[in-house]
Chain A
């Protein structure tokens, strides 16, 4: 089934293309090709051997009965390849299809690059396609709204300045029933740890802030959370292709930490934000690495547990399986630490999915796909069939997933494929099993 037969109606894409014509498309496409992409894109386009080694790597292909139009090389051919072949001159309808492929049929998960004999990074090609779509004003409605929120509030959920601190104070208050002297220290200059989250936490998942505060408090960490914007480490602008906003967000985030003179940023269980801070957004801003070290929760929990800062009174009953979030496992190599943490926490085996660690299958929610919202939900969950099959085959009841996107994606997947599995953050388990400080 080609892209034409599976087009999804989205008001952001539809209105976007309605403003275009072939001339305006060509001008924008070529401006991006000439001004922004350099040799890498051309090289990738030229060296592809059409060998098909990447095909079996992609869960979109695997989940759609091996439909070749979902193969990574085919997706490149239908997008960037077509633009290059036509000198950037294509119709608005073609842009619609290309946008759907780039935003909703690739999670930018980079699994395929591991199978390509010449190292072609299809995710880079897809993100370049998204950059072009952003420049053309053709982006799915929901993710674009998220990008708007980032620009207006510096967080992805339209959380207003006062709602942020009010929520932290409310969680602090709640937690004091359980930990009478617990604080969520706001703007504490010179703290060792700056704890950063993504906006869904204050908006919908306040218990994650509660749990993090409980863990940091119990571990006696000298920590703080910023009272002003900059606290949200997430970055949907990276995924819409709005790199200028991506840079602005990362500047705000890092300067917020620099202003508080903290030693390092510890971030909650999120994958994509990690990609933005350590690889993409920081570099747009001109920093080679990051100006303030960013430690993912997986690494941080590993420290707390192996250094005895958190002790357990019980273990979580296993066996369990786990979801390797692409951005922190394939992207950052945290696969071993993640398993170490789980072994400490769980009484029972880790039953691996067939594809695991750097060869894991994406949850189909990553790369901003889940943020494209309801119009694309069914297609997204269909693309997770291969993953669902692997999860079912483990025969276990619990999936540990240290990433918000993975959670959201797997939640839908567990439901649709009737897997009957629970999905847990590491923080859920640590909070449940840790020894409380003496009153």
Chain B
């Protein structure tokens, strides 16, 4: 997206994109707004007078309307995508035109990193799989879930059920009727369960959590299970530098990190999950609980000294030198924590922090008393909004794009670093 962002308007200042976010065409109701990454368009589902649904984009409805629309979103390359029903069947509408193919059901749209490839989960005649840009997998299955697409969009994967099971058939379940299908091709081995298949950086290899029996969990990579089993595991991740696979593992009741079956972080944590690599793979960070009920971030196995009752939304800078996350207590008093130090303010809600490409700045959207604000390096932008979306840094990191709605107006603000005062 950073490449695409270089062509956006980065002229500092505020531009009103829409004087009114209300759809121009008469309608029964209008649903939640969604905005494009570049801040040039705002879209919402509208229910028209004739009881059909359409998308309203910058005040104008699509020419097409549908029996039903749900889950709108802008793809990373700025196309407006929504799940659409016509004549009782489902497809994906992209900028107003559906895929040629329709399905008994379609859900979970997902994208390659650049947005050029769109995939979705589909069901036809009780058979499950994926469709990629409207082309269905050549094999479908009795069930599928846990869908994934590679960053380059060349591969898709899901956990699939390889044989039908009778009601309460414990023996079949114990034998294992689940595996991973990549581009519709099921692996040979089956497992009791499989979860969260994930691709390597090139979209060639797949790693997944597996449960071998009721008690033994492990990681399988391209259909080969690690030699080691564990009391429990969480989602695997590929090291983008080396291709090695790491996953949180539970050993004797405590969590650590294993790489290709060998422990690399000692199992000393009450929890360890959401691990993430820097782009070069040299830094590995994760959300951990060094003691019961106290969460923080560990970078290369070393936890920050500050802990919180809940930590979410870990983000690493591209070079891995910095890490940010959110902390809260019982879902209130949200804080943005950067490199172990919380910013001053506490909020009713906060959203995932965003690093500038060079890692020097961090921004995040927060909510207080029903108003949204955008923070950068702990300082708030000079005004707040009825609704704002996640901030986006300019490719050089010197500006922040703020997309927001206030008093019914949709504005696009390119803020410079000096626009952020210190009252946050």
What is A's interface to B at a CB cutoff of 8 Å?
11-12, 15, 35-36, 134-135, 137, 141-142, 144-145, 148, 151-153, 160-162, 165-166, 169, 180-181, 183, 185-190, 227-229, 242, 244, 247-248, 251, 258, 261, 263-264, 283, 285-293, 373
Choose from A242, A261, A291 the contact partner of B351 (Cβ within 8 Å).
Answer: A261
Q: Complex: how many Å from CA A292 to CA B329? A: 9
Q: Is B292 a contact partner of A227 (Cβ separation < 8 A)?
A: no
Closest beta carbon of chain B to A19's beta carbon, Å: 10
Q: Complex: how many Å from CA A287 to CA B294? A: 8
Q: Is B232 a contact partner of A244 (Cβ separation < 8 A)?
A: yes
Q: Is A288 a contact partner of B309 (Cβ separation < 8 A)?
A: yes
Closest beta carbon of chain A to B335's beta carbon, Å: 14
Judged by a CB distance under 8 angstroms, whether B385 is at the interface is no
Q: Is B349 a contact partner of A190 (Cβ separation < 8 A)?
A: yes
Q: Is B143 a contact partner of A287 (Cβ separation < 8 A)?
A: no
- Interface positions, chain B 167-205, Cβ under 8 Å from A, are 167-171, 173, 178, 192-193
Q: Complex: how many Å from CA A262 to CA B133? A: 32
Q: Is B289 a contact partner of A160 (Cβ separation < 8 A)?
A: no
A residues less than 8 Å from B293 (CB atoms): 286-289
A141 with B170, Cβ < 8 A, contacts A291-B331, A292-B331 known: yes
Q: Complex: how many Å from CA A35 to CA B231? A: 12
Q: Is A15 a contact partner of B123 (Cβ separation < 8 A)?
A: no
Closest beta carbon of chain B to A253's beta carbon, Å: 14
Choose from A142, A228, A244, A251 the contact partner of B231 (Cβ within 8 Å).
Answer: A244
Closest beta carbon of chain A to B312's beta carbon, Å: 6
Q: Is A162 a contact partner of B193 (Cβ separation < 8 A)?
A: no
A263 with B178, Cβ < 8 A, contacts A151-B193, A153-B145 known: no
Stretch at the interface among B26-34, B219-227, B256-264, B277-285: B26-34
Q: Is A165 a contact partner of B253 (Cβ separation < 8 A)?
A: no
Q: Is A290 a contact partner of B351 (Cβ separation < 8 A)?
A: no
Known A160-B143, A244-B232, A373-B168; 7 more pairs at CB < 8 Å:
A36-B253, A151-B192, A153-B143, A162-B105, A286-B295, A287-B310, A289-B293
Of all chain A residues, the one with the shortest Cβ separation from B104 is A162
Closest beta carbon of chain A to B106's beta carbon, Å: 8
Q: Is B121 a contact partner of A162 (Cβ separation < 8 A)?
A: yes
Q: Complex: how many Å from CA A263 to CA B330? A: 10
Q: Is B330 a contact partner of A289 (Cβ separation < 8 A)?
A: yes
Of all chain A residues, the one with the shortest Cβ separation from B122 is A162
Q: Is B178 a contact partner of A152 (Cβ separation < 8 A)?
A: yes
Stretch at the interface among B11-19, B209-217, B375-383, B402-410: B209-217
Q: Is B128 a contact partner of A160 (Cβ separation < 8 A)?
A: yes
Closest beta carbon of chain B to A165's beta carbon, Å: 6
A residues less than 8 Å from B29 (CB atoms): 181, 183
Of all chain B residues, the one with the shortest Cβ separation from A251 is B273
Q: Is B309 a contact partner of A183 (Cβ separation < 8 A)?
A: no
Closest beta carbon of chain A to B9's beta carbon, Å: 26
B residues less than 8 Å from A36 (CB atoms): 253
Judged by a CB distance under 8 angstroms, whether B66 is at the interface is no
Judged by a CB distance under 8 angstroms, whether B399 is at the interface is no
Closest beta carbon of chain B to A239's beta carbon, Å: 15
B residues less than 8 Å from A286 (CB atoms): 270-271, 289, 292-293, 295
Some 14 contacts from A to B, beta carbons below 8 A apart, are A35-B252, A134-B214, A153-B143, A160-B145, A162-B105, A162-B123, A165-B105, A181-B28, A185-B32, A186-B70, A244-B250, A287-B293, A289-B309, A289-B330
Q: Complex: how many Å from CA A287 to CA B171? A: 35
A residues less than 8 Å from B348 (CB atoms): 263
Judged by a CB distance under 8 angstroms, whether B108 is at the interface is yes
A141 with B107, Cβ < 8 A, contacts A35-B252, A134-B214, A258-B312 known: no
Q: Mark B346-375, 1 if CB is under 8 A from A, else 0.
A: 001101000000000000000100000000
Judged by a CB distance under 8 angstroms, whether B68 is at the interface is yes
Q: Is A161 a contact partner of B108 (Cβ separation < 8 A)?
A: yes
Q: Is A35 a contact partner of B253 (Cβ separation < 8 A)?
A: yes
A residues less than 8 Å from B143 (CB atoms): 152-153, 160
Q: Is B107 a contact partner of A161 (Cβ separation < 8 A)?
A: yes
Q: Complex: how many Å from CA A180 to CA B292? A: 49
Residue among B170, B270, B271 having the largest count of chain A Cβ atoms under 10 Å: B170
Closest beta carbon of chain A to B349's beta carbon, Å: 6
Closest beta carbon of chain B to A304's beta carbon, Å: 20
Of all chain A residues, the one with the shortest Cβ separation from B192 is A151
Q: Is A186 a contact partner of B351 (Cβ separation < 8 A)?
A: no
B residues less than 8 Å from A283 (CB atoms): 292
Closest beta carbon of chain B to A401's beta carbon, Å: 27
Judged by a CB distance under 8 angstroms, whether B71 is at the interface is yes
Q: Is B217 a contact partner of A244 (Cβ separation < 8 A)?
A: yes
Q: Complex: how many Å from CA A140 to CA B145? A: 27
Q: Is B107 a contact partner of A227 (Cβ separation < 8 A)?
A: yes
Of all chain A residues, the one with the shortest Cβ separation from B161 is A152
Q: Is A263 a contact partner of B349 (Cβ separation < 8 A)?
A: yes
Choose from B107, B292, B351 the contact partner of A165 (Cβ within 8 Å).
Answer: B107
Closest beta carbon of chain B to A110's beta carbon, Å: 23
Q: Complex: how many Å from CA A227 to CA B106? A: 12
Q: Is B28 a contact partner of A162 (Cβ separation < 8 A)?
A: no
Closest beta carbon of chain B to A38's beta carbon, Å: 11
Q: Is A287 a contact partner of B128 (Cβ separation < 8 A)?
A: no
**Which 9 pairs of residues, A with B, have the shortest CB-CB distance?**
A288-B293, A286-B271, A162-B105, A145-B168, A286-B289, A286-B270, A291-B310, A244-B232, A292-B331
Choose from A169, A185, A244, A289 the contact partner of B68 (Cβ within 8 Å).
Answer: A169
Closest beta carbon of chain B to A105's beta carbon, Å: 22
Q: Is A152 a contact partner of B193 (Cβ separation < 8 A)?
A: yes
